[in-house]
Every structure is written in C-alpha cells, then in structure tokens.
Amino acid sequence: MTPATDTIAAIATAPGAGGIGVLRISGPGARAIGAAFLDRNPRPRHAHYTALRDSEGALIDRAILLYFAGPYSFTGEDVVELQTHGAPVVLNMLLRRVCEMGARPARAGEFSERAFLNGKLDLAQAEAIADLIASQSEAAARAAMRSLEGAFSDRVNALLALLIELRVYIEAAIDFPEEEIDFLDTQELRDRLDAVRLTTSQLLTQTRRGVRLTDGLHVVITGRPNAGKSSLLNALAAQDRAIVTPIPGTTRDVLRESIELDGVILTLVDTAGLRESGDVVELEGIRRARRELERADVALLVTDQDHIAADLALLGPPQSGQTRLLICNKIDLSGELPAVAETPAGLRIDLSAKTHIGLDLLRTALRRLAAGGDSINGAFTARTRHVVALEQVAARLAAAELALVHRRAGELAAEELRHAQRALGELTGEFSSDDLLGAIFSSFCIGK
Ligand code: GDP
Ligand code: ZN
C-alpha cells in the first residue's frame, strides 16, 4: 500500500438521529473543500461557525468547521471536520455535496488505515481503536484505551529489542568461526536467551488475558440431560433466556447468553446434554455441544453428588488451556450447604441452580478466571492474531535454544531468531502483507 493521493469523506457519528453529527474529510483536497464552504482558507485548530451550502447555494445547515493541517491530525493528512445537526438527512446531503467537491466516500476503516500508513499509529494501536469502539464492558474499554496509548506495542517493541540484541550477538559469533564455539557456549548467551523466552511467555500470558477482555470468557455448560444446565444459565443470566423443561433432551440447539460480571463479559453457552442417543436431531445437538466444548475457555460440568465420576468419564479429558469447574447441582434436594473445594478434576462448587444458593461462589470463581487470576487493572486488549504471532515467537525461540544449547548450531539459531523477529513485526505492522492489512481495516466501521 502506498500513501493516499485522493480525498475521502464519511459520516463519523453513529447511524440515526442525534444532537450532533460529524462528517470527516481527509486527504490533499480537504483544505480546499473547507475553504469553499468558508470563502477563505480555514485556520488550523480554529472553530469556524459557518453556513454549509449545496451547489445551488441553498443552505444545508449551519455548522462548526474544524481544520487540522497535516501531519498534525488523526490521519496525518489535512483533515476537515464538520459538526452539524445530527440529522441523517443533513449528513447525507453534506456527504453528497463534499463528494461533488472532489472527495469520495471512505471505505470501512480507511481513516485508521491512513493513520497507520502515515505512521501515526502502529497496527496494534489501530486495532485498539476498533476494540475501544466495540467494547462491551468498562474493563474492556479501559484496556483498549491502554492498548491505544501503546501499552501493548511498548511491550512488543521491548521484546523486539531483546530479540535483536540476541541476534546480533549470535551473528557476530558466526562471523568469527574460529571463536564461534566459545561464543556460543557462554553463560551470557544462555542468560540472554532465557530472558527473551521469559519475556515472551509473560507477554503471551497477558495477551491471552487481553483477548478474554476483548472477546469475553467463553463458558460452555455441559452435562447429562436434566442435570440443570439451562437452569444454571438462567440463574447466571437472571432472565428466562433458555427454555427450562422437565423433559430430558430438549435443549437441542446451542443457546448463548452474554453477561457482564464486574466489567468482564462472559459468553455462556448452554448445550445439548452429553449422552448416547438414537435421535437424529439430538445427535446433531450433541455434535454441536462437543464442538462448542472444544472452543471453551471454561467448561462447567453440571452434575450431582452421585454422578461426578460417571459424568467426568463421559466428558473425557479436558482440552489444553481449558479450565473445568464441577458444579454439583440440586443441593436443595439433599439439604447440603453450598461449598467450594479443590479436587483433582477441577474446582468443585456445590450449589442449587433452582434456589440460587451457592451461585455467588460460582460467580466469584468465574470472575477470577475472567481476570486471569489477578486484577484486570493494567491489562490491555489483544486479539487472537496477536496470540498466534506470539506463540510462533515462542516456538521459534524454543527451536533456537535447541539448536544452540544442544547442537551449538549458530546459523540455525540465527535463522530461527529471524523468523521470530518477523512474527513480532507482524503485531505492530512492521512486516505485514496487504492482505492482512485489508482484512484488519475492513472489519472497522465506516468513518473510523
Ligand atoms: P438441563 O437438561 O440440564 O438443561 O436441565 P434443566 O435446567 O432443564 O433442568 C431439568 C430439571 O431439573 C427441571 O425440572 C429443573 O427445574 C430441575 N432443576 C434444575 N436445577 C435444580 C436445582 O438446583 N434444584 C432442583 N430441585 N431442581 C432443579
Ligand atoms: Zn437444557
């Protein structure tokens, strides 16, 4: 992608009527459009109150016109913003007028894309803008803001600096073959490699938390028919979303409910019961339940005192990285008290989905999991693509260590580090294909 030569325009405020609407124009023609409305050149960073007229001279609206001269603007280009009355009709007339004056309608995310191409933001920061706009909880909004301010990019760049130092060290050793073996066998080199690996794994942990903050924690409820899965979903969502019936096997499809727990979004998924079945429709439901379970961050196995072992056997071993909670439901029937206990198969919580006793214990456990075990203060938002890239970095570093420490193969280690550096560069956009950029920015909203 090369820097833009044309001028784009879009309505930046949300669709529908509002008190104020904003039309944004960016590119080399923006200033001339502003000047045509004002009958003189706009002054940078000055609020002009002006009439906005159509091509026949008829008044469209009276509005505030702001001009930001590049590079001191969001996109880095000349930008004009028109703050009008927030009527969709007015904004659309203005957009048409501005396009007659030489602009063209912007594609989704095109302003952010230009900001990225002009070096105003890196890719992770641009993604943080979209995450901020889409945030569904206060915690997610605050974390997105931290990413936008560079909290995530700074960490990536610090890791990149360590990685480059290590590469330089190893490549220098390779350049002096007579001393190579000694160079590659020093404690210092091992220490540096350890430091880079540790930094990577710490960043990976925080990035995974960041993804949970952005996307929410994916909680899948599973268990035998009639165990109380739908009742538990209802209890947590505190509304009648899933249908609760005493006939086994009625939750055939997958039901979802998002709830906010102290600023973190949980997506709860109620699935068909896990059991052998001859019914085709139900079999499909069970297949979907299995698929949902594979993607879960947390699996809630709803069971009871007498069926824990059998239900665990039916469920099989947990996915890697997945947390399993055992919910011993219906304690109101046996008169037991609500309780939490660590068991080898996961945290066990005794409660009643029907009477809600013990439900707060489950909420506390979910809140802890969503926060990644500690406070969400200081967290930043992240995306799955960031986790994937960092996992590649970690794998390359592991390979580099293997090459160095076990085989003293400097060339091989250096090659792995080059790959690791590339994967890191994709996070901030230093190395990114046009396809990747296109996919990222087209998911933004128009006007951003
Ligand atoms: P699912 O098939 O696992 O989704 O189970 P449901 O949520 O549909 O519940 C099955 C039956 O068990 C319903 O009659 C519920 O009212 C009942 N049930 C669910 N949870 C409890 C509970 O904690 N105590 C009692 N007494 N009954 C419950
Ligand atoms: Zn159900």
Q: What is the ipTM of this complex?
A: 0.98
Same domain, 199 and 257: no
Query: Does 438 fall in a domain?
Result: no
Q: Is the CB of 234 under 6 A from ligand 1?
A: no
328 and 220 fall within a common domain: yes
The response to whether residue 351 sits with its C-beta less than 6 Å from ligand 1 reads no
Which domain-ending residue is among 77, 98, 121?
A: 121
Indicate the pTM of the whole model: 0.71
Domain of 348 in residue numbering reads as 216-370
Of the candidates 7, 2, 14, 3, the one whose C-alpha atom is nearest the C-alpha of residue 446 is: 14
Counting beta carbons within 10 angstroms of the beta carbon of residue 191, is it exposed (0 to 12), middle (13 to 18) or buried (19 or more)? exposed
Picking from 86, 85, 110, 87, the residue whose alpha carbon sits closest to that of residue 10 is 110
Distance CA 179, CA 189 (A): 14
330 lines ligand 1 (CB under 6 A): yes
My answer on whether 333 and 250 are in the same domain is yes
Do the domain assignments include residue 408?
A: yes
Cis bond before residue 71 (omega within 30° of 0)? yes
Answer yes or no: do 227 and 360 share one domain. yes
Number of domains in the chain: 3
**Residue in the block written with tokens 């709803």:** 302
In tens digits, the chain (448 residues) has pLDDT values of 556 789 999 999 988 888 999 999 999 999 999 999 999 999 999 999 999 999 999 999 999 999 999 999 999 999 999 999 999 999 999 999 999 999 999 999 999 999 999 999 999 999 999 989 888 778 788 889 999 999 999 999 999 999 999 998 888 888 776 665 566 777 888 899 999 999 999 999 888 888 877 777 889 999 988 999 989 998 988 755 555 555 555 555 567 788 877 767 788 888 766 665 555 556 666 777 777 788 788 999 999 988 999 999 888 888 777 889 999 999 999 999 999 999 998 999 999 999 999 999 999 998 888 765 444 556 788 888 999 999 999 999 999 999 987 777 888 999 999 999 999 998 988 877 788 788 888 888 877 8
Q: Is 61 within a domain?
A: yes
Q: Could you tell me whether strands 323-328 and 298-303 are parallel, antiparallel, or unpaired per DSSP bridges?
A: parallel
Asked if residue 329 has its Cβ within 6 Å of ligand 1, the reply is yes
Ligand nearest to the CA of 225: 1
Residue 54 is part of a domain; what is its CATH number?
Answer: 3.30.1360.120
Q: Which of 370, 392, 411 is the last residue of a domain?
A: 370
CA dist., res. 275 & res. 318, Å (int): 17
- 10, 41, 48, 373 from 38: Cα distances, Å: 20, 7, 8, 57
Q: DSSP assignment of 371-405, as one string?
A: TTTS--TT-----HHHHHHHHHHHHHHHHHHIIII
Q: Are residues 185 and 231 both part of a single domain? A: no
Would you give the end-to-end CA distance of the chain in angstroms? Answer: 18
Last residue of a domain, one of 75, 101, 121: 121
Cα-to-centroid distance, 366 and ligand 1 (Å): 21
Residues 192, 261 within the same domain? no
Q: Return the sign of the alpha-carbon dihedral for residues 161, 166, 169, 173.
A: negative
Q: Tell how far CA 104 is from the center of its chain.
A: 31
Task: Classify residue 15: in a domain, yes or no.
Answer: yes
Specify if 444 maps to a domain: no
Q: What residues are designated binding site?
A: 24, 81, 120, 226-231, 245-251, 270-273, 448
78, 105: one domain: yes
